[in-house]
Structure 1
Amino acid sequence: MSLHIDTNFPGGNAIIERIEGDQIFLQQDLRDTQSDWFYWYCRVTGASGRTLHFNFTKSRALGGRGPAFSLDGGESWRYLSSLDEDGKGFSFSVPQGAQELRFSNTIPYLQTDWQKCLARLKKYSGWEEGVLAKSRSGRNVEMFRSGPSQKSKPFCLVLTARHHCCETIANFAMEGIIEGFLAQDKDGEFLRSKIDFAAIPFMDKDGSENGDQGKLRSPHDHNRDYLGESIYPEVAALRKFTPEWVGSRKLLFFDLHCPWISGKEQDRIFLVGQENQKIWQEFQNYGKILESINPGPLPFHMEHNVPYGCGWNKGIPSTCASWVSTLPQTLMSGTFELGYDDICGVEVTPDAFRAFGHTMAKALAQYLGAEADSK
């Protein structure tokens, strides 16, 4: 079998410019993204026993740990932890007998991964599958909910991920939060007694399955669609659903993102501050609890947060977080940024972020307990 590289599968993205022996020249496919970005995901066959070298010709498309790779058709992933000195390429020695390899700048997360998550959650009761909206292409935009809704519960929690569809790592943290909410322990039981819960794993469902960048797409991306009339059906549906569902109760809201591809200030978990100082203070109160109880393996330090007005965080009124801050029911909300491949020197894995998500749920139980004690 001759060497073949393609992107003809869910989430696929790359422009293969040419192949010269074992040298592969490629670039990320920006599609409708208006500026440079870095997402790519390709499949390689016919490479058994060869040492391949990938050269990115457009711009940097690798984090500090190099590419994520899979030898089993995308079932399991890890980072190579190796790349060229200039950060623009990497080499990979293909095991003898390997039929298919997959490479990406991140660990992918697609519809099939969400279905696997739901299958694992079947051991728990007290939840239901739903649909927030239909995407532009007619796909279901899934919504996980605690069920049935009980207006007697004083709080509502909304989780969102993939406003920028390339930010796949956010979904593993979301899985962990859900598992923490459903856990048969005192924290899970407390959360279920106080909170109605909704999670939307793919705010840009079409982009996630099509393998788009999502960030900075034209005319604007999903996380710039919260001012005026929304152009994306998922966003319009969330803006309608949330205040109606919450009613007179208090709203908690986490929007899960990933930052730039690599760098000291990106290889972290951090909170993004917002202009509404009352809500930001509540988010920090929660963050302090999270920091104090986090057992790892992924570290979280409050000193890494980016308050409103600092650096790049100048506030954008059209974001999800900005919109949530205007809702009168909002008690605490904000954006989590979750590094792609490395957190303060610790390699990112799906299980590591699931564990962090579980800790996020435990911290929420303690936060609500403290909020109740302050009454």
Structure 2
Amino acid sequence: MRKKDILFNDIIITDQFPGGNIIVDKIESNNVYLRQDLRDTKPWWHYWNFKITINRPQKLVFHFQDDIIGYFGPAINEGKGWHYNKNTFISHKSFSYDFLYAGTYQFAFSIPYQVEDFERFFNKIENSAQKHFAVKTKGGRDQFYISAGNIQADKTILFTCRHHACESVAEFVLEGVLEELILTSNPIIKECGIYCFPFVDLDGVENGDQGKDRQPHDHNRDYTDEPIYPTVRYLKKFINSKSLLYSIDFHCPAKFYGIHDLMSLIQLEAPHNTAQELFSSFLEKQNQKDKCSIQYFQKNNIVHGKDWNLGAPPTFARFCNRSGVKLAFTFEVPYFGHRQEPYMPQELREFGKSFAKALIGYYNDTNN
């Protein structure tokens, strides 16, 4: 259960909006003490997203209990779109903001992406794509997916995103992938059916849940004999009903530092890693050819048996591979990156377009 809006003198803080997530512990003078709402996630995760309304100019300092502020401070929306301002960064636990005008402002761990954002994107492709109802979620929402291309063909490609509700930045890459495949003339759109579930954990996305490590397990650990989430049950049947050629699941990694700042393909155990490595080589070459501002290097893949990529949990990618999909993997899109400036939506979309070109190249090489 979410807390009600927090009102203190001339300040109102709320998470009562799609994707909202915050707990305010106290406000003392110009210091706001707050934390992320873990809800049913255990033991811990990093997502937060709140709006604040003030009625006079003032400077506030926001203090979190955990290290959950990125390198560039919070994502900020002052009513004209999202951006970062590194001058707001104090530490990974605190940031400051100088409110020059009365009004409502929004701050988040990273740039959010809600259903309304996908609807705006869908307007761009709606003449070449269709939207379908899949199933009712646990929360009673209409789970949807889209299709495009030659849906009568015996070759199908499936994209998914938001198995973990908080992993918003990956959606911008997915937009680029879909735009390139659907709106350009290429052999995949002509010869394959393209399907996409942009919000696997739709309830979590709109409710502002962490999603990751949701108890008793999250959506990307639900590909068992008896899934508990309606969307996963539907997806399992969907996968088994199609002649799937490729399935790609877009994620964001842990918050930041090290491998979590790099674009990476999560490789599975042999023999599934062979096709993944071949695609990786196409992706690296295409990324360099397109001179993408966001770079990808195959050496940054997280191979099975290293770092956190251990064991054989019941994930989407593993289920697809075991179901006979020729190329299936998870791809991790960092929240911020490792540069002197953060990854922003438009360049993430451009990365996605290059990703799609690499997939076309891989298709041409392996299906002729």
User: What amino acid does structure 1 have at the position aligned with 2:253?
Assistant: P
CA distance in 2, matches of 1:119, 1:243: 30
Tell me the distance in 2 between the aligned counterparts of 1:43 and 1:36: 22
The CA deviation at 1:190 is 1.7
1:264 CA drift (Å): 2.3
Deviation of the 1:84 alpha carbon: 4.9
CA RMSD of aligned residues (A): 1.7
* Deviation of 1:316 (Å): 2.9
**CA separation in 1, counterparts of 2:194 and 2:60?**
46
* 1:99-145 alpha-carbon deviations (Å, 9 max, x no partner): 111000011111111111111223xx431111222111111112010
Cα drift, residue 83 of structure 1:
5.5
Distance 1:63 1:130 in 2: 36
Please say if residues 132 and 141 of structure 1, whose CA atoms lie closer than 8 Å, have aligned partners that are also in contact. yes
Q: Given the superposition, is the C-alpha separation of residues 42 and 290 from structure 1 closer, same or farther in structure 2, using an over 3 Å criterion?
A: same
The structural deviation recorded for 1:148 is: 6.0
Helix, strand or coil: the match of 1:252? strand
Task: State the TM-score, normalized to the length of structure 2.
Answer: 0.93
Match of 1:315 among 308, 311, 325: 311
The aligned residue for residue 5 of structure 2 is none
Alpha carbons of structure 1 residues 322 and 143: separation in structure 2 relative to 1, 3 Å? same
1:282 is the counterpart of 2:279: no
Q: Secondary structure of 2:367's partner? A: helix
Spell out, residue by residue over 1:151-202, the C-alpha distance to the aligned partner (whole angstroms, 9 max, x if none): 3x5x311111110000011111111111011223xxx422212221100011
**1:186-239 alpha-carbon deviations (Å, 9 max, x no partner):** xx4222122211000110010100000001111110011001200000000000
Question: Which runs of structure 2 are paired with 1:27-66 in the superposition (5 Å)?
Answer: 27-46=35-54, 48-57=56-65, 59-66=66-73
Equivalent position to 1:78, from 75, 80, 83: 83
Q: How many equivalent pairs are there? A: 357
SS at 1:132 equivalent: strand
User: Does structure 1 residue 7 correspond to structure 2 residue 15?
Assistant: yes
Compute the displacement of 1:345 (Å): 4.2
Does structure 2 conserve the Cα–Cα contact (< 8 Å) formed by 1:298 and 1:346?
no
Structure 1, unpaired ranges of 5+: none
Map residues 1-375 of structure 1 onto 2, 5 A cutoff: 2-46=10-54, 48-57=56-65, 59-72=66-79, 76-82=81-87, 84=89, 86-96=91-101, 98-122=102-126, 125-146=127-148, 149-151=151-153, 153=154, 155-184=155-184, 188-246=185-243, 250-275=244-269, 277-294=270-287, 295-328=291-324, 330-373=325-368
Q: Distance in 1 between matches of 2:242 and 2:73?
A: 43
Is the 8 Å Cα contact of residues 72 and 89 (structure 2) preserved in structure 1? no
Question: Is contact 1:54–1:90 with CA below 8 Å preserved after alignment?
Answer: yes
Q: 2:264–2:331: 8 Å Cα contact kept in structure 1?
A: yes
Please identify, of 213-222 and 141-150, the stretch whose mean Cα deviation from structure 2 is larger: 141-150
Indicate conservation of the 8 Å contact 2:166/2:209, yes or no. Answer: yes
Task: Determine helix, strand or coil for the equivalent of 1:103.
Answer: strand
**Pair 285,47 (structure 1): closer, same or farther in 2 beyond 3 Å:** farther
Is the contact made by 1:317 and 1:323 (CA closer than 8 Å) also made in structure 2?
no
